[in-house]
Amino acid sequence: MQLLVTLRDLKIQLWVILQRVLGVRVPFLGIPLKGVNNPILVLDGIIEPLNIFVKTEAIGQFIRQFNEAIGFQCVKEEEYWDSSIPFSSYYIYVTEKLANDAIRNCEVPMSEDEKFEILHLVDEAIFPQNSLVKALRTSQQLNSPILFRDGEEPIRIQLESIKIKVVSSYPFDGNPKYLDNSLIHLTGIIPVEYAESKARNLIEFENGLWSAIYSLPYLKINNWKWIWDLNWLTIIEFSN
């Protein structure tokens, strides 16, 4: 009897833990440069949301555009961004959730492929020609970490999920403070090399490139990482 009670308690504790974490897509490696089609490495991330909600126009735009695309007013509630999660990761997560809820509630006859076709179209309307959003949505659609370069077939990657926590975020205007051909070459090589070698020093190297190109503080803590987060640059803490 004691063993049965213990097992039951463990199951309850596990259920509570699972309810407190989200699986999201994380743009782990890849530095954006205007006019350069750099690769982006997207990993599966696990995060414990802190429910720090902020209103954002992008999710409101998504709701309007999605309702228009399917021809029904199925998504009615207002959604807010949980700022304890990278914005780009949260946008991809919550918009698919809203789409799934709408399709179910309005009994819209739609396949998974059709759903993602609409999601990609709405993404493009809100974030035109944005390779980061395309990369994250494609990773979500394939349900896999990927190496993504706009206009090319995504490459599925076998990499473990990472646990992440947002440390801080800063507005990002996309204007480099210093850039030359050698830095452009390095920014394109690092995501590819990491996907093949998983060498941790490449993470530190990319942090250094972020600092050099955009005059950002150099991160001295080993498990901190700069990531591109749409209109933000976000520092995450990560672990396996």
Structure tokens at 239: 């672990």
> Helix or strand or coil: residue 27?
strand
**Helices marked H in the chain:** 2-19, 57-70, 87-105, 112-126, 131-142, 181-197, 201-214
Domain count, the chain: 1
Antiparallel, parallel or unpaired: β 80-82 and 40-47? unpaired
Model confidence at 20, pLDDT cuts 50, 70, 90, reads confident
Span of 10-14, 150-154, 202-206 with lowest mean pLDDT = 10-14
| Host domain of residue 108 | 2-239
Quote the CA–CA distance of 221 and 204 in Å, as a whole number.
10
Q: Which residue has the tokens 């993470």?
A: 203
User: For 179-230, what is each residue's pLDDT tens digit?
Assistant: 999 999 999 999 999 999 999 999 999 999 999 999 999 999 999 999 999 9
SS3 53: strand
